[in-house]
Amino acid sequence: MGIVLIWSLVLILMRWISHKRRGAISYDSEDQTALYIRMLDVRVRSQVGFEPERRGSHPYLYVDFRTLHSRPEAARPVSARNVRRLLSFQRYLHSSRFFHGIPANNPLGYILDDDFTGQAKLMLQKVGNWNFDIFLFDRLTNGNSLVNLTFHLFNTYGLIELFQLDMVKLRRFLVMIQEDYHCQNPYHNAVHAADVTQAMYCYLQEPKLAETLTSCDLLLGLLAAATHDLDHPGVNQPFLIKTDHYLAALYKNSSVLENHHWKSAVGLLRESDLLSHLPTEDRLNMEERLGSLILATDISRQNDYLSEFRTHLDKGDLCLTNGGHRHFILQMALKCADICNPCRPWKLSKQWSEKVTEEFFHQGDIERKHNLEVTPLCDRQSNSVANIQIGFMAYVVEPLFVEWSRFSDTRLSQTMMSHLSLNKQGWNEGRDKQEASSSRASEEQRTPATKDSNSKVLPQGSKGS
Ligand SMILES: [Zn+2]
């Protein structure tokens, strides 16, 4: 009983501190501040199990995004989340004491704790491989791939020492990020964020970038990758707009999700105090750059970025000693990392394709259920995984990676283009087989009625021959 009482007091204290810090966040516009605080309030309330108060102005639809993709067994109460955060925090203290004074020739020792298996350690040694299996790594780390991978990369680059980051705060920050991804989303969850972070690391290692990027670029590149879809609701921007969601109003129907991911990341950075020891001007500058990177992942603005990239490549005027140009390349790298699934080996790529389609179709099901116009890509009655992938590869992925390969003509780029081509072939063959089997099936349905009547009729085209 005594332990339960102490835990309760600790939880109440933590919630009070967290609430105080949230209250301290300030934003430029008063309206935005009010809306954002209201949004945070809704999130906090829904997390602690209250019915959200604001239901939007839409007369017939309210969707609680926290339960949108939930399955009964996946539902987790918020108190469990807070306890888990606290436990993670304490476990880290234990492991940091354990590893205190560990020799520098064992860099992995700083980040490993009792949860790691030998296989996860081995995987981290090959984190720069393009065929890195993030699904396996996530299983080996008990669903903590984002925390462990990002911590490892920060450590690998020496960012903890360079920026004098408090390791406990960093760990806590990463746990909060991971927890703020919705594990119920089939695709936009923490494993996708970990996958994008791993891809980003591969690009940061490419010679042109590795030779020129500063420590600040590396820090922001990894941070942006890890947070770029933070608190993603599992539905797209048009859905938020047509349901009059408050996020659409807050960001004036423009890059709604990306703005939310950015502001959520800034909220967690401030809540964790990770960068609070840095001068205010530097910190604000980093928050702005983080936003600029995350906003670049808005797929509806892809053509703007792509034409600017093409122009630079045609002119050959990209100079990576120039800070602005380096930032632009980081934006392009993050865009590539975000949509690189079709450039992974088939075994990984196929899993991602199925997950993203499941999320699309789920949105379509909700739209149909509530008599909303069903988004074309989300209609399971007129689409298939293969069709969606073939279009996505042809119109979105390939144009981007063709330009990236012009910029960074390396073995990695050749590997990615080769996988892209093979995967396209795989989906085309899959679609052909599916179409052939469905036409066979419809043929067989007609056969009993037509077989006898047509049995003595010559096949079409042979008449008169
Ligand atoms: Zn993403």
Residue-wise pLDDT for 179-237, tens only, equals 999 999 999 999 999 999 999 999 999 999 999 999 999 999 999 999 999 999 999 99
Total number of domains constituting the chain: 2
Pair (393, 288) in one structural domain: no
Pair (212, 323) in one structural domain: yes
| pLDDT for res 375 | 93
CATH code, domain carrying 261 = 1.10.1300.10
Residue 72 resides in a domain: no
Of 291, 313, 336, which residue sits at a domain end?
336
Among 200-214, 404-418, 427-441, which is the least confidently predicted range?
427-441
Pair (296, 285) in one structural domain: yes
| pLDDT for res 68 | 53
Pair (147, 246) in one structural domain: yes
Residue 14 resides in a domain: no
Residues recognised as catalytic = 188
| pLDDT for res 114 | 53
Residue 312 resides in a domain: yes
| pLDDT for res 433 | 79
Pair (406, 327) in one structural domain: no
| pLDDT for res 191 | 98
Residue 235 resides in a domain: yes
| pLDDT for res 65 | 52
**Average pLDDT value for residue range 404-431:** 96
**pLDDT, tens only, 331-381:** 999 999 999 999 999 999 999 999 999 999 999 999 999 999 999 899 999
Pair (330, 417) in one structural domain: no
**pLDDT, tens only, 85-124:** 433 333 333 333 233 333 334 444 445 555 556 889 899 9
- The pLDDT confidence band at residue 267, using thresholds 50, 70 and 90, is very high
Among 76-85, 99-108, 263-272, which is the least confidently predicted range?
99-108
Distance 388 CA to ligand 1 centre (A): 17
Does the pLDDT at position 58 exceed 50? no
Residue 40 resides in a domain: no
Stronger pLDDT, 460 or 121, i.e. the higher one: 121
Distance 265 CA to ligand 1 centre (A): 14
* d(C-alpha 124, C-alpha 115), whole Å: 14
Stronger pLDDT, 438 or 36, i.e. the higher one: 438
Among 64-78, 114-128, 248-262, which is the least confidently predicted range?
64-78
Pair (284, 359) in one structural domain: no
Asked if residues 341 and 192 have their Cβ atoms less than 8 Å apart, the reply is no
Q: Please state, rounded to an integer, the average pLDDT across all residues of the chain.
A: 80
Pair (366, 297) in one structural domain: no
Among 38-52, 138-152, 279-293, which is the least confidently predicted range?
38-52
Left, alpha or beta for 258 (phi > 0: left; psi -120 to 50: alpha)? alpha
Distance 257 CA to ligand 1 centre (A): 11
Residue 67 resides in a domain: no
Helices 302-315 and 323-338, axial angle in degrees (round to 10) = 130
What is the reported pTM?
Answer: 0.74
Among 33-47, 69-83, 287-301, 419-433, which is the least confidently predicted range?
33-47
| pLDDT more than 90, % of the chain | 66
Does the pLDDT at position 43 exceed 50? no
- Name, of 8-17, 103-112, 286-295, the range with top average pLDDT: 286-295
- The pLDDT confidence band at residue 445, using thresholds 50, 70 and 90, is confident
| pLDDT for res 341 | 98
Distance 72 CA to ligand 1 centre (A): 25
188 labeled part of a ligand binding site? yes
Residue 11 resides in a domain: no
- The pLDDT confidence band at residue 398, using thresholds 50, 70 and 90, is very high
47 labeled part of a ligand binding site? no
Pair (269, 382) in one structural domain: no
Pair (164, 239) in one structural domain: yes
191 labeled part of a ligand binding site? yes
Residue 456 resides in a domain: no
| Domain housing 141 | 82-124+137-336
Pair (288, 397) in one structural domain: no
Among 7-11, 79-83, 360-364, which is the least confidently predicted range?
79-83
192 labeled part of a ligand binding site? yes
**Average pLDDT value for residue range 239-266:** 96
Pair (345, 306) in one structural domain: no
- The pLDDT confidence band at residue 455, using thresholds 50, 70 and 90, is very low
381 labeled part of a ligand binding site? no
* d(C-alpha 334, C-alpha 97), whole Å: 36
| pLDDT for res 441 | 75
Distance 16 CA to ligand 1 centre (A): 32
- The pLDDT confidence band at residue 50, using thresholds 50, 70 and 90, is very low
* d(C-alpha 220, C-alpha 213), whole Å: 11
Of 287, 302, 336, which residue sits at a domain end?
336
**pLDDT, tens only, 169-182:** 999 999 999 999 99
Does the pLDDT at position 59 exceed 80? no
Asked if residues 198 and 134 have their Cβ atoms less than 8 Å apart, the reply is yes
